[in-house]
Amino acid sequence: MGWRLIRIYTILVYLFMFLPIAVVVLLSFNANQFGSFPMTGLSTRWFEALWNNDAIMRAFRTSIVLGLMTAVISTVLGVLASLALVRYKIPGRNLITTLLIAPILVPEVVLAVALLLFLNFLNFGKSFTLLLAGHVIFTLPFVILVVQARLVSIKRDVEEAAMSLGASPMQTFFAITLPLLMPAVAAGGLFAFTISFDDITGTLFWKPGGIETVPTQIFSMLRNSISPEINALGTVMIVLTVGLPLIGAAIARTLATRSGQ
Amino acid sequence: MSAVSLSNIVKRFGDYTAVHQMSLDIEEGSFVTLLGPSGCGKTTTLRMIAGLLDPTEGDITIKGKRVNDVPIHKRNLGLVFQNYALFPHKTVAENVAFGLNYRDVGKDDAKRKVAAALDLVQLPDLGGRYPKELSGGQQQRIALARAIVIEPDVLLLDEPLSALDANLREDMRVELKRIQQSIGVTTVFVTHDQTEALAMSDQIIVMSEGRVEQVGAPEDVYNTPATEFVAKFLGASNLLDARCRDVANGGIVLELPDFPAIPIPKERAPKVTGPGPVRLVIRAEKLQLKAPGTPENGCLSVDAIVETVDYQGQSARYFVRVGDHQMQAVNMIEDHPFAAGAKVALQFRARDCAALPVGSRP
């Protein structure tokens, strides 16, 4: 009896969480202009409309470029920072770690306003570079957390063995450390991309006029009217932000099994 | 010319001195063991030879060339770790071939060398496997193959047997010695296990608290410990306070309460120079428990009482009391072990004893 209640309760919680998403996905295939049930027919017209909407496609391209650049910069910086923090005895190591992780702990609005005011103070205006910098600051902690955890588990002995066999520190990094670090690097990069891709708070503060990312585009579209195109856009966003990490995890797992780790 | 030589090496970590003023010459082709308890500086010394640590003072030369400023990857050394340190993302063959990638070795040549190295460690068929698929003993053999395939000037082994099971450890010990002899590479072996050190080494360097206590062949170190530390660390020894009565050409004569006078040959007491207090060293296995009244046969004999018996199957460790002295003896069991409380005659030969000056330091 008790178990039955728990089961029903669990199902209700899941419905509460996922039903709105399911509705969005479902309605994106609705043939009718007005979203209501029962649906009158299936169609991909809203996806086509999306494809033909220049503003949305521009926003989409911006988001992809921004996400990729954020991922690459964050991953490179994150790996370098992790190496320094884990492999070398640098003074103030704990303080630096805390500072690097801090952006997760500070409310995003505060971070967004702070960065904006700081750059205003330095007489820099809003620009794509500022937007990129903001996203890097915001995604770097995730990369560092993931990469550091992995780096700690890679024994120093393995690197020392490689060096004793004639590999320079640089060659050792590329032949041994980086391949062993790869699952974490890939995971960190994916994190950075997806976080950047659906960030809105910081982006609203940082983006210069005329540049829209997908979330800010949706946001401004919602202010005017609720177009079914938004449902289609939402579906695309869901597929990207849920699908990418899943694919990443699957790739990481296959790589790991193949190398027998 | 010695293969490796350390002159006045000192290593400090902040205020802590890990290695004090150490000088050492390791002969070409020899198997030398750094033996000592953890924290004695043996691994620090090995890591300085490897180039993983810089000495605070002193010079390290390998094959006559000063290497203090030569980074590890240019020293041409083979290094084997306690936990194998194989590259998990590379196959066994790729692991072994790794060092050849950084040397002027052609592809076919490299293949042949890898195969030869795998043959030498008797695992010729595992080239395609990943390290995770191998047992600990197999992984350590692969690590050894990886280290010797580059024909290193010196092979450095950092407790390579410590992670293995007891039985496997003994097999690997024999195997390791065979491989070392067949290629004749100068080898520095670090261990805290005296059995390994005694069984494998041409020369043992006993270390304690960052200092060298004694350097010598296994038999010398075992039979004639130079310091109390060595006497206690290698095997089970009894150390008793005694007095040196006189020093003559052939040896010295010790006396102590409850014992007859013990004449010790000079070579077993090289550091005792004159009459005065000394420490008498008798190995536990040199003390024989006999039934009271057993003929002495040229041995010295004292009456003793068995206090505790530690039965070990083929042998037994006895804790016995002789007057005020508590001593231990390890004897093979012939029939039945002696029981606790039994009165026995404790017999030993004077030439199995050694004497040290009191509080002797190297």
Test A157 with B81 for CB contact under 8 angstroms: yes
Task: Kindly state whether A222 is in contact with chain B, defined as any CB-CB distance less than 8 angstroms.
Answer: no
**Residues of chain B positioned with their CB less than 8 A from the CB of A163:** 71-73
Task: Kindly state whether A244 is in contact with chain B, defined as any CB-CB distance less than 8 angstroms.
Answer: no
- At B250-263, the pLDDT tens digits run 788 888 888 888 88
Q: Would A49 be classed as within a structural domain?
A: no
pLDDT at B357: 84
- Rg from Cα positions in chain A: 22
Distance to chain A for B118, nearest Cα, Å: 17
Do A179 and A209 share a domain, yes or no?
Answer: yes
Do A20 and A107 share a domain, yes or no?
Answer: no
Write phi, then psi, for B357 (nearest 5 degrees). Answer: -65, 150
In chain A, the number of structural domains is: 2
Domains of chain B and CATH, by start: 4-223 (3.40.50.300), 238-357 (2.40.50.140)
Nearest to B88 among A160, A167, A259 (CB): A259
Do A60 and A147 share a domain, yes or no?
Answer: yes
Residue type, B203: Q
Do A18 and A101 share a domain, yes or no?
Answer: no
Q: Would A235 be classed as within a structural domain?
A: yes
Test A160 with B77 for CB contact under 8 angstroms: no
Test B85 with A168 for CB contact under 8 angstroms: no
Q: What is the domain-level CATH number for residue A93?
A: 1.10.3720.10
**Residues of chain A positioned with their CB less than 8 A from the CB of B83:** 155, 157
Test B73 with A179 for CB contact under 8 angstroms: no
Do A27 and A102 share a domain, yes or no?
Answer: no
**Residues of chain A positioned with their CB less than 8 A from the CB of B76:** 166
Nearest to A168 among B73, B75, B79 (CB): B73
Asked whether the ipTM of the predicted complex exceeds the cut of 0.95, the reply is: no
Nearest to B130 among A158, A161, A260 (CB): A260
Task: Kindly state whether A153 is in contact with chain B, defined as any CB-CB distance less than 8 angstroms.
Answer: no
B344 and B291 Cβ atoms separated by less than 8 Å: yes
Give the separation between CA A48 and CA B172, rounded to whole angstroms: 70
pLDDT at B360: 59
Nearest to B85 among A161, A168, A261 (CB): A161
Produce one character per residue of A161-193: b if its CB has 16 or more CB atoms within 10 Å, e if not: bbbbbbbeeeebbebbbebbbbbbbbbbbbbbb
Where residue B98 falls (left for φ over 0; alpha for ψ -120 to 50; beta otherwise) is: alpha
Helix (H/G/I), strand (E/B), else coil: B25: strand
Which band of pLDDT confidence, cut at 50, 70 and 90, is reported for residue B274? confident
Residue type, B68: N
B223 and B253 Cβ atoms separated by less than 8 Å: no
Task: Output the average pLDDT for chain B.
Answer: 89
B321 and B283 Cβ atoms separated by less than 8 Å: no
- At B182-201, the pLDDT tens digits run 999 999 999 999 989 999 99
Distance to chain B for A255, nearest Cα, Å: 10
Distance to chain B for A159, nearest Cα, Å: 8
**Residues of chain A positioned with their CB less than 8 A from the CB of B87:** 158, 161-162, 176
Test B88 with A261 for CB contact under 8 angstroms: yes
Do A81 and A210 share a domain, yes or no?
Answer: yes
Q: Would A48 be classed as within a structural domain?
A: no
B186 and B336 Cβ atoms separated by less than 8 Å: no
pLDDT at B88: 92
Q: Would A193 be classed as within a structural domain?
A: yes
Q: How many angstroms separate the Cα of B203 from the Cα of each of B35, B152, B218? A: 10, 20, 6
Do A83 and A181 share a domain, yes or no?
Answer: yes
**pTM of the predicted model, to two decimals?**
0.80
Do A147 and A225 share a domain, yes or no?
Answer: yes
Q: Which domain holds residue A175?
A: 55-258
Q: Would A50 be classed as within a structural domain?
A: no
Test A161 with B130 for CB contact under 8 angstroms: no
Do A117 and A137 share a domain, yes or no?
Answer: yes
Do A198 and A247 share a domain, yes or no?
Answer: yes
Give the separation between CA B259 and CA B300, rounded to whole angstroms: 9
If one compares B30 and A56, the residue with the highest pLDDT of the two is B30
Best of B70, B72, B159, B162 to substitute, by most chain A Cβ atoms within 10 angstroms, is B72
Test B73 with A163 for CB contact under 8 angstroms: yes
Contacts across the A-B interface (CB distance below 8 Å): 80
pLDDT mean by block of 10 residues, chain A; 261 residues: 87 91 82 68 78 84 92 95 88 87 87 86 81 90 91 91 93 93 88 88 85 85 76 83 81 65 46
Test B50 with A162 for CB contact under 8 angstroms: no
- At B215-260, the pLDDT tens digits run 999 999 998 888 889 988 888 888 888 888 888 777 888 888 888 8
- At B116-151, the pLDDT tens digits run 999 998 898 888 999 999 998 899 999 999 999 999
Do A22 and A62 share a domain, yes or no?
Answer: no
Please tell me which residue of chain B has the smallest CA distance to A155.
Answer: B85
Do A77 and A203 share a domain, yes or no?
Answer: yes
**DSSP string spanning B276-301?**
EEEEEEEEGGG-EEE-TT---TT-EE
If one compares A235 and B96, the residue with the highest pLDDT of the two is B96
Task: Kindly state whether A169 is in contact with chain B, defined as any CB-CB distance less than 8 angstroms.
Answer: yes
